[in-house]
Amino acid sequence: MVLSRTARIICPSFWKGFKSSKSHLPFITAGNGEHKALTTSSNLWYPRGVRPKVQRSKQSGYVEQVQSWNFSEEEEKGEAAKTEEETELHKPVMLEEIMSIFQPSDNQVFLDMTFGAGGHTKAILQSNSLTKVYALDRDPVAHRLASKLADKYKSRVFPLLGRFTDLDKLLKDAAVQHQSFDGVLIDAGCSSMQFDNPERGFALSEDGPLDMRMDGSRVPSTPSAADVVNNLDAQTLARIIRTYGEERLAKKIAAMIVDYREKHKPIETTAELATVISFAFTHRAAADSKDSLGRKLHVATRTFQALRIFVNDELNELHHALHTIKPYLKKGGKLAVLTFHSLEDRIVKRFLQGKNVNEKGKSLHERKRSHDWTTDEEELKSPDWQIVNKKVLCASEFEVSQNPRSRSAKLRAAFKL
Ligand SMILES: C[S@@+](CC[C@H](N)C(=O)[O-])C[C@H]1O[C@@H](n2cnc3c(N)ncnc32)[C@H](O)[C@@H]1O
């Protein structure tokens, strides 16, 4: 299976790299010239010693974290008009497969942990008029859409604003008890609304401020992609780019970034970063840069992906989400998780197997060599979950042709025992 082969290639060096070593913690210089060590709250999913929990750099200064979010009247009008258009741009991925797993019936309650443009939530609401959906998103723009949907579907949609790591508190505040949900969906990563808006700083296609935070406006104290590329040392940047972007030229790209910012100026926009990254590629390497569909891929795509995952702490968030949600699912309740990166899929697979995510898995070949005759099916047995699809599900050829974003989607689903 392609997936496990990919995981095996990445993981040996990956796991070594993730061992904790506080002596390697890099420093970041704050606005007042003070040096701050990057703090580590968990070593799980980070290249050694690297954590995104840094104070903002001299570009952005220190800003207090805000808990709630309110649009001004003017912003509200603008955002509403914009988001109406933007929802059209995000096509829900593997919708049919997910709906055939959930099969919503009367009075069932669902949790959509990644509301986005609400594509999956709407399908649940429309499939049965007696269903209810709790809709979480960390992005205030998505939350705003969920609130609008709540107005339309009275008493059936409950918007929640926050991250996976806030979910437990949010559910407790909403008086949601354990064993409440019949189905929980995670559709990891970013929405097209985020990717395609140059002001959010995710996009390669159009220039914009180098931000990439899904909730930077709500939690401005978290570092943006500009903070990361302008402050971390070359070795740390290379680890991030290699691990999260699976980029072969990570070291060279990191060196180019550091060289540029030292000789010229801090990198401030997406186009500026893309240009600096392209210096690391020969004409030939650039011409060979293709995605899994064989389409031309911008040479900066993998580095952008790595920075996005790092800035939003995506792997730790996913790991946290899975553990948080388990007690909130009813017995027999269904969990469906869509991921777009091999490391994310690995977290989900390990979680469903009831294994420690840090444990190195054995390939079938390795199992046979060590006279471990466990079959692939037995490997997937778990004391807590009945796994729906033994093999990871991928989007159909037709869906990929309609929505190229679905090409790297991997769907895993399970019933809670
Ligand atoms: C791929 S989109 C979901 C799209 C949605 N299923 C749809 O069909 O419209 C992922 C969404 O999850 C949100 N998200 C990602 N990580 C999150 C986290 N840790 N906590 C809460 N929301 C998160 C993003 O802001 C984004 O809106």
pTM: 0.81
- What is the pLDDT at residue 357? 72
Q: What is the pLDDT of residue 139?
A: 97
Which of the listed ranges 22-36, 160-174, 270-284 does the model predict with the highest average pLDDT?
Answer: 160-174
Indicate which atom in ligand 1 lies nearest the CA of residue 193: 27
Q: Above 80 in pLDDT, residue 329?
A: yes
Best mutation site among 99, 102, 115, 211 for ligand 1 pocket (most ligand atoms within 8 Å of CB): 115
What pLDDT, on the 0 to 100 scale, is given for residue 33? 42
Q: Bigger pLDDT: 352 or 33? A: 352
Which residue among 69, 121, 137 is best mutated to probe the pocket of ligand 1, counting the most ligand atoms within 8 A of its Cβ? Answer: 137
159 ligand 1 Cβ < 6 A: no
Strand partners, 410: 339
Q: Is 114 in the pocket of ligand 1 (CB under 6 A)?
A: yes
- Mean pLDDT taken over the chain: 80
| Residue 372: band (very low, low, confident or very high) from pLDDT cuts 50, 70, 90 | low
Ligand 1 pocket residue status of 342, Cβ below 6 Å? no
Checking if the pLDDT of 228 tops 50, the result is yes
33-54 pLDDT, tens digit per residue, is: 433 333 323 333 544 444 444 3
* DSSP 3-state of 29: strand
pLDDT the model gives residue 390: 80
Query: Ligand 1 atom 15: the closest Cα is on which residue?
Result: 189
The span from the CA of 283 to the CA of 277, in Å, is: 13
CB 285 within 8 A of CB 299: yes
**Mean pLDDT of the 271-284 span:** 93
Q: Is the CB of 191 under 6 A from ligand 1?
A: yes
Cβ–ligand 1 contact at 190 (below 6 Å): yes
Ligand 1 centroid, distance to 354 Cα (angstroms): 25
Residue pair 304/280 in contact by the 8 Å Cβ criterion? no
Query: What's the 288 CA to ligand 1 centre distance in angstroms?
Result: 32
Testing ligand 1's pocket by substitution, the residue of 86, 114, 320, 324 carrying the most ligand atoms inside 8 A of its CB is 114
In the structure, what pLDDT confidence band is assigned to residue 315 with cuts at 50, 70 and 90? Answer: very high
pLDDT computed for residue 235 by the predictor: 96
Is the shortest distance between the CB of 164 and ligand 1 below 6 Å? yes
pLDDT for res 149:
97
Q: What distance in angstroms lies between residue 113's CA and the mean position of ligand 1's atoms? A: 7
Calculate mean pLDDT across residues 319-348.
96
pLDDT at 123: 98
Are the C-beta atoms of residues 49 and 26 closer than 8 Å to each other?
A: yes
- Tens of pLDDT, residue by residue over 150-191, are 999 999 999 999 999 999 999 999 999 999 999 999 999 999
- Kindly state the helix (H) or strand (E) to which residue 185 belongs, with its residue range: strand 181-187
- Please report, for residues 289, 294, 319, the alpha-carbon distance to residue 115 in angstroms, rounded to integers and kept in the order given: 32, 30, 18
pLDDT of residue 205: 84
pLDDT for position 362? 61
Look at 69-83, 161-175, 285-299 and tell me which has the smallest mean pLDDT.
69-83
- Ligand 1 neighbourhood includes 200 CB (under 6 angstroms): no
Cβ(239)–Cβ(50) under 8 Å?
Answer: yes
